[in-house]
Amino acid sequence: MFNKTTLFLALVLFALTSCTSKQEAEQAAKNSPSPSEAATPQPEVHGSEVKTVELTNPLNKDWVATGKTIYESKCLACHKLTDEKVVGPGWAGVTKKRKPEWVLNMITNVEMMLEKDEEAQKLLEQCLVRMPNQNVTQEDARKILEFMRANDGEK
Ligand code: HEC
């Protein structure tokens, strides 16, 4: 009989399976592109490793401002600008401690970093939470890096 309990169980099951893995869902979506997506491929937001980054000197003020806005909407929940850890490590000193390429890969290729990079794996051991992919483009990631450099006192 299709009673309320069955419906409830179905909903619970749906809720559970829908949260278990966003990655799986994304993967599935990738594997079966809709015809419109196939016709107009979306720009690659992650997946290609960043090998070189050119640093500007002095800082690009526009990028710092945009980077700050992105930080506030996508990163602030887990990262403070001090050295205090929340969910992820605080950002104070991050640009002194890490190479710019490393930082960009952490932002745009976090899955790869957690799989291959020892430093990233150490952070995961400390934080016990995998940083989720924030779907930040490489361009935006570069602006966030500029904001991090400003946060570390560069002019
Ligand atoms: C849901 C929480 C969460 C969000 C949101 C998040 N991060 Fe993270 N981040 C982490 C965790 C946790 C780590 C440590 C590595 C790990 O455990 O996966 C981390 C590590 C990092 C690191 C390395 C820090 C270091 O000390 O070397 C950088 C850089 C970074 N995140 C950038 C970002 C940026 C940029 C954003 C926003 C676009 C962002 N993160 C959003 C959780 C988050």
**Ligand 1 pocket: which of 75, 126, 139 to mutate (most atoms <8 Å of CB)?**
75
Q: What pLDDT was estimated at residue 130?
A: 97
Q: Is the pLDDT of residue 2 over 70?
A: no
Contacts of residue 98, defined as CB under 8 A and 6 or more positions apart, other chains included, come to 106, 119
**What percent of the chain has a predicted confidence (pLDDT) above 90?**
69
Per the model's pLDDT, the better-predicted residue between 74 and 30 turns out to be 74
Residue 10: predicted pLDDT:
55
User: Residue 18's pLDDT is what?
Assistant: 42
Nearest residue (CA) to ligand 1, atom 43: 131
Instruction: Report pLDDT digits (tens) over 109-144.
Output: 999 999 999 999 999 999 999 999 999 999 999 999
Q: How many residues does the chain have?
A: 155
**Share above pLDDT 70 across residues of the chain, in percent, rounded to a whole number:** 70
How would residue 48 be classed by pLDDT, with cut points 50, 70 and 90?
confident
| The pLDDT of residue 20 | 41
Q: Cβ distance 66 to 140 under 8 Å? A: yes
Token output for 142: 């570069």
Which of 78, 108, 109, 151 is the best mutation target for the ligand 1 pocket, counting ligand atoms within 8 Å of the beta carbon and taking the most? 78
**Of 39 and 126, which is predicted with more confidence?**
126
